[in-house]
Each structure stands twice: as structure tokens, then as C-alpha cells.
Structure 1
Amino acid sequence: MTALTLAQANTIAGAALEASQKAGYKPMAVVVLDASGHLKSAQREDEASMFRVDIATGKAWAAIGMGAASRVLGQRAKDNPNFFVSLAATAQGRFLPQTGAVLIKDSQGKVLGAVGASGGTGDEDEAICIAGVVAAGLQHG
């Protein structure tokens, strides 16, 4: 597999939102980016805040940009806050190292993109991202 397809991205987003609904979470937004950080799919549930897509994008963009799940980035930011503030400024505010995004990988471990969610707690956001990746038959990291 060489690139994340639109069908895979839509499967990830749809399955993530389905997992959110089954768990009874608040209305969510899910954004899937390709390996270059470009938008592949974005979905926002009815009644989700207007900020949700932007936040989900920032989480996914940080993950793909740094090659790590946003949970890991949040921990790194605690140890080196000045660097992460600089990253956010350099990225014109698109970089959010907050729990709620994971990398999307193929079966060989190649990074295909990232998925981010916003609307619940960081743990809830991350859980639905993982559910979406797994539903698409891919791996997360």
C-alpha cells in the first residue's frame, strides 16, 4: 500500500463516529489527513461545536508532523514547553499536541496519515480514532 485512499479515510471517520455514538459520547468531529498532512476526510456530527473540526485537524496535523500519536506529543510538550510553543507558532496555530489523534499505518508499519477527533475527553477522542483505524483494517501508532 502506498497511500491512504479516500475510501479508507471515509471508513476511518465513519467508524470513529459510530464508535462514539455507541459509547454515548458528546457530538464529535473526526478528521483524517494523509501522510503529507493534507485533508482526506472530515466529518462533524450534528450539534458538535464549531471548533471541533479545527481542533481535530490540529491534533492530527501534530501527529503526522512529528510522527507520533498526540498523547506522546502531549507528554513531550510537558518536558519541553518552549519547543512546542515554537512549533505551534511556526505551524500558524495548526499544531495541537493534545491527546486525541493517532497515526495511521499499513501492515508493514509505513505511516499513511493520521486521524484526530475532538468533542470528548482526550481519552474518548483517542479511543474513537483507534476504532476507526482498526475498522479500516489498518494499524495505529
Structure 2
Amino acid sequence: MSRITLQQATTVITAAFAKAQELKLKPLGVVVLDAGGHVIAYHRQDGASTGRFQLAVGKAAGALFLGMSSRKIGDMAGERASFLSSLGPIAPSGVVPAAGGIIVVDAEGLAIGAVGISGDLSDMDEACAIAGIEAAGLRAQG
């Protein structure tokens, strides 16, 4: 598989929302990007704040931009703060250094897109992203 389809993106979002409901989370925004960082699909739950789109895209696009999950980017922030702060002008969709942005890979481990979620605690956002990816029959980068 070399790309994420709209149907798969919709499944990711639906399953992520189901996981959020199961965990009783705050309202989320979920975005699915293709490998080039373009939005395939985005939904925001009722009651989610207006910044959820930008934060979700920043998590997913930042993961694609640096080739690692937004959690790993956040872990790196303490040691390389000046590096991360320099990315603003060159990262077209931003880089948000908090868990919730997961790269989706094909069978060979090549990035085919990413999922970004914002709305609750970052760990919970990430759990919903992984649940959505798995529900769509896709693979999260290890």
C-alpha cells in the first residue's frame, strides 16, 4: 500500500472518536495527512475548541517533517530546544512537540501519512491515534 485512502482516513477518525468515548475524553480534533503532509480528512467533535485543527496538523505534519512521532519530538525538546524553536519558519505546517502525532507506514516501513489528534492529555490523544490507525488496518511507525 502506498497511500491512505479517504475510506481509511474516515475509519481512523471514527475509531479514534470511539476510543475517546470509551476513555471519556474531552472533545477531540483528528486529522489524517498523506505522505506529503496534505489533509485527507479532518473532523472535530462537538465542543472541541477552535485550535484543535492547527494543533492536530502540527503534531502529524511535524512527525512527518522530522520522521518521528510527535512524542519523540517532545522528548527531544528538552535537549534540543533551540533546534526545535528554529523549525517554525521552515516547517510548513508547524511542529508540535507533544504526543498525539503518529506516522503511518507501509509494509516496508516507508511513511504513507500521519495521524494527529488534539483535545485531551497528549498521552490520551496518542492512544486514540493508535487505535484509529489499527482499526483502519494500517501500521503505526514503531
TM bucket (normalised to shorter chain) is over 0.9
Greater than 6 Å deviation, 4+ residue runs: none
Q: Contact conserved, 1:107 with 1:138, CA < 8 A, in 2?
A: no
Offset at residue 54 of structure 1 (A): 1.0
Does 98-107 or 38-47 show the bigger shift? Answer: 98-107
After superposition, where does 1:1-141 map in structure 2 within 5 Å? Answer: 1-91=1-91, 94-141=94-141
> Per the alignment, in what secondary structure is the counterpart of residue 89 of structure 1?
coil
User: How many percent of aligned residue pairs carry the same amino acid?
Assistant: 42
Instruction: Please list every run of 5 or more consecutive structure 2 residues that lacks an aligned counterpart in the other structure.
Output: none
Offset at residue 92 of structure 1 (A): 5.8
> Per the alignment, in what secondary structure is the counterpart of residue 30 of structure 1?
strand
Instruction: Please list every run of 5 or more consecutive structure 1 residues that lacks an aligned counterpart in the other structure.
Output: none
Does 123-132 or 13-22 show the bigger shift? Answer: 13-22
The 2-side partners of 1:93 and 1:39 are apart by: 11
**TM-score, scaled relative to structure 2:** 0.94
Q: CA RMSD in A?
A: 1.2
The 1-side partners of 2:43 and 2:103 are apart by: 18
Does 65-74 or 97-106 show the bigger shift? Answer: 97-106
**TM-score, scaled relative to structure 1:** 0.95
The 1-side partners of 2:91 and 2:106 are apart by: 27
